[in-house]
Amino acid sequence: MKLVDIIKISYTNLLRQKVRTLLTIFSIVIGATLISLVYSIIPGFRNFFDLQFQILSSPKLIEIYASKERPAASIMDSFGSAPQEYKEGESSGLYDLMLTNFKEEDIKKIENIKGVVKYHDCPIPNVEYIGLEDSDKKFKSNMIFYYPSFMLSNIKLVSGRSLNDSDKGKVLIAYDFIKAFGYQNGEELIGKKIILHIKQNLNKDTAGLTIMPTLDETQEVVSKDFEFEIAGITEKTILSSIIFVSLVDAVDMVKFSRNTEEVLTDKDNQRFFGFVEIDDAKNAEYIMDEIKNMGFSGQTYEQSKNILGMIFDILTIIFSSFGILAMAVSSLGIVNTLIMAVYERTREIGVMKALGANRFTIIKLFTVEAGLIGTIAGLLGLIIGFGISELLNYIGHKTIFSSFETLDISNITFLILLAPIISIVVSILAGIYPALKASKLNPVDALKYE
Amino acid sequence: MINIKNACKIYKMGNQNVVALNCVSLKIKDGEFVAIVGPSGSGKSTLLHMIGGLDTLDKGEIIVNGSKLKNVCDKDLAKYRNSMIGFIFQSFNLQAKLTALENVELPLVIRGINKKDRRILALKSLKEVELGDRINHKPSELSGGQQQRVCIARALVNSPEIILADEPTGNLDSISGENIINLLKQLNKKIKTTVIVVTHDDRIAKMANRIIRILDGKIIKDVQNGNHIIKKYTD
């Protein structure tokens, strides 16, 4: 029998019990919709975060830590694993991070590794609030960063110019400040004075971001406004309140807040983190190994990117598992529907056999019928899934992620075919048992069946 | 030529073994019109099913045109049923959702004939049973006699060498039954197809060249037809 005729007969058979067929299809549609949603929304977010990551990081960058193990790495590794044996000399515990700091000698050694262009310190000033000249508005910020100029060059600007490493007194501010300060476009803000207010707190400093500060109410609060000229405004990124400052200014601010001149010296007890700029992304792995051999830890761009990718992979697996599980449960509906059909059509199967249909033809008729259920359900799931993601995308862009034009959670790729494919495969598998049952019918018994 | 040698078939019904065919041997020549008669449960339908390749023997063999039906794989047996045999059933067994034309096309669909050719063949077959004007009617829109004609057209469409009819007039009124009998006889004469009919209908037996009477799975009489003996062989 020709495939086209098999499909035609199977389709006609499906239409005999329309309600039953529709209910069976509907149950599969739920799983297919979920899978379509997963493969539309998650890659959408993934692409967006990948893009943001590319903007805010660089393949020519390795983040390094003075500790033997990356902070949080040991915590992450310990999840789900049995207590690990302690070995003498190995780092352990949270405070290890605070106790290990880069010395000038270490930095020289790191800079001497082949392929390393420069070591960049990463002082993080602890700013109380951000203000603008002639404005009463004040904003919170914990994102005052120094970015080496090679990294800043990744970030597109909507107004003004980027910063050089030695650009003292100038800042680059996030796009969102335009609206926040009540302006229409970035150009109006260029050249204006921005104030970073810093409170001096001997008990709370950069490291205070990671440890609980000890508040001493009797201590006299000394604070200072650091004034900067806005040199440029970045494009919209996920870091919506970021302000980039030059290294000199960052160090000045940290010195003030900690009330010490030891910042970035051998006596600095907070120099535990830095960036290594490398000549070529290809050398990242080798350089990372060399740095590790010196007793430090770190993470390359690729590794960070992989972690991000892994998070999305896990999310995809979890959510598509729900979809596949839903589909697997629904496939029992197909088995049921087709077994019913075998009983209803027993006599017909007998006639088909008498007219010359062999066992394989009968198997094909029933598996194609199951496949048709899967195809219709898969395509419907795909349409509904993308309809929902399109709707979520629309609503999202009108509300919570209105400024992120690059975030498209209705992301259509070749993965759109996954829902119909899985749906067809699951349905065909579900059709095998009824098909075999039908094919095994004895034609004489089948013809006598009432 | 159909040659049946020592055909035995036992069915299990619960704990009991029922002998459907008990060492039946029989030869049917090409073009013969044979009526198989006997009481219910005598094994006549079983014999028909065996010749038609719908079931297999426990012992013995059936040779059709020199080919043994025993030890033939499912695919070849299906092919045999499709190309060599035309079945006519008491209850017509037409597909309710299909038109007369589509029902007749079915054996050709199974054979894999293309749409255009099977339409021509099915039309020809329907015209042969004088239903050329009813091709687009569904079975429910046709009388019993017309439905049986569609069934005959379906049996003829693949130009089979043997037509096997199981009580073809059993569900018909006397006039329709008569017409069907005449049609079968006519086809037997015109196309020279071998026709084997299992029947209780003495009118069919009257028209047959040969009457075989079966009782308890055995042939108890095998006679060339003569009107004077008909009564004896039909029930």
Set of chain B residues whose Cβ sits within 8 Å of the Cβ of A9: 109
Same domain for A94 and A45: no
The H or E element that residue A280 is part of is none
CB contact under 8 A, A353 and B89: no
pLDDT of residue A144: 87
Same domain for A335 and A202: no
Give Cβ neighbours of residue A391 (< 8 Å, ≥ 6 apart): none
Same domain for A402 and A280: no
Question: A350 to chain B, minimum CA–CA distance in Å?
Answer: 9
Burial class (CB in 10 A: 0-12, 13-18, 19+), B43: buried
What pairing do the DSSP bridges indicate for beta strands B162-166 and B85-88? Answer: parallel
pLDDT higher than threshold 70 for residue B75:
yes
CB contact under 8 A, A5 and B109: yes
pLDDT of residue A205: 46
Cα–Cα separations (whole angstroms), residue B122 to A26, A29, A119, B80, B115: 39, 40, 87, 20, 10
pLDDT of residue A96: 52
Question: Does A336 reside within a domain?
Answer: yes
- Report, at the CATH architecture level, how domain B30-48+72-233 is classified: 3-Layer(aba) Sandwich (3.40)
pLDDT of residue A208: 43
**Integer Cα distance of A78 and A136 in angstroms:** 48
Nearest-10 Cα torsion for A371, A377, A379, A381 = -150
Cα–Cα separations (whole angstroms), residue A38 to A41, A318, B127: 5, 10, 59
Interface test with B, best of A355, A439, A445 (most B CBs within 10 A): A355
Same domain for A370 and A330: yes
Same domain for A421 and A327: yes
Question: Does A397 reside within a domain?
Answer: yes
Measured between CB atoms, which of A16, A351, A358 is closest to B74?
A: A358
Ordered per-residue pLDDT tens for chain A, 450 residues:
899 999 999 999 999 889 999 999 999 999 999 988 888 888 888 888 888 888 888 888 999 988 887 776 666 666 666 776 776 666 555 555 556 888 889 999 999 999 999 999 888 888 888 998 888 888 887 788 888 888 888 888 889 998 887 788 999 999 888 988 888 888 988 999 999 998 886 554 444 444 444 555 555 678 889 999 999 999 888 888 889 999 889 989 988 888 888 888 888 878 888 999 999 989 999 999 999 999 888 999 988 888 888 988 999 899 888 888 888 888 999 999 999 999 999 999 999 999 999 999 999 999 999 999 999 999 999 999 989 998 998 898 888 777 777 778 877 778 788 889 999 999 999 999 999 999 999 999 999 887
Same domain for A186 and A60: yes
Q: Which of A246, A276, A307 is the last residue of a domain?
A: A307
pLDDT higher than threshold 90 for residue B3:
yes
Question: A23 to chain B, minimum CA–CA distance in Å?
Answer: 22
- Looking at residue A108, the DSSP 8-state letter turns out to be H
Question: Does A188 reside within a domain?
Answer: yes
What is residue A35's three-state secondary structure? helix
pLDDT of residue B163: 94
**Cα of A418 vs its chain's centroid, Å:** 20
Question: B107 to chain A, minimum CA–CA distance in Å?
Answer: 5
Residue in A with minimal Cα distance to B49 = A444
The crossing angle, in degrees rounded to 10, of helices A359-398 and A418-439 is: 160
Question: Does A417 reside within a domain?
Answer: yes
- What is the tens place of the pLDDT at every residue in A159-205? 999 888 778 899 999 988 898 888 888 898 899 999 999 888 655 44
Same domain for A236 and A143: yes
- How does B72-85 read in b/e, with b if 16+ C-beta sit within 10 Å? eeeeebbbbbbebb
pLDDT of residue B170: 86
pLDDT of residue A210: 46
Report the DSSP beta bridge partners of residue B213.
B37, B221
List residues of A whose CB lies inside 8 A of any B CB. 1-2, 5, 9, 12, 16, 347-348, 350-361, 442-444, 447
Set of chain A residues whose Cβ sits within 8 Å of the Cβ of B81: 353-356
Same domain for A273 and A189: yes
pLDDT higher than threshold 60 for residue B231:
no
Set of chain B residues whose Cβ sits within 8 Å of the Cβ of A443: 49, 54-55
Question: B79 to chain A, minimum CA–CA distance in Å?
Answer: 6
Same domain for A62 and A49: no
pLDDT of residue B86: 94
Place of tokens 């000045």: A252
Set of chain B residues whose Cβ sits within 8 Å of the Cβ of A361: 78, 110
CB contact under 8 A, B81 and A447: no
Question: B52 to chain A, minimum CA–CA distance in Å?
Answer: 8
Same domain for A284 and A249: yes
Measured between CB atoms, which of A354, A358, A361 is closest to B54?
A: A354
Answer whether B56 touches A (CB < 8 Å): no
- Give the E-state strand segments of A156-251 in sequence order: 157-160, 170-173, 193-200, 222-234, 243-245
Question: Does A313 reside within a domain?
Answer: no
Measured between CB atoms, which of A348, A356, A443 is closest to B111?
A: A356
Same domain for A258 and A335: no
The crossing angle, in degrees rounded to 10, of helices A346-354 and A301-344 is: 80
Same domain for A234 and A253: yes
- What is the tens place of the pLDDT at every residue in B108-118? 999 999 999 99
Q: Cα angle at B166 between B162 and B169, to 5 degrees?
A: 115
B189, HSE (Cβ side, Cα atoms, 13 Å): 9
CB contact under 8 A, B78 and A361: yes
Answer whether B159 touches A (CB < 8 Å): no
User: In terms of residue numbers, what domain contains A357?
Assistant: 3-53+321-448
The structural domain count of chain A equals: 2
pLDDT higher than threshold 70 for residue B235:
no
Set of chain A residues whose Cβ sits within 8 Å of the Cβ of B109: 1-2, 5, 9
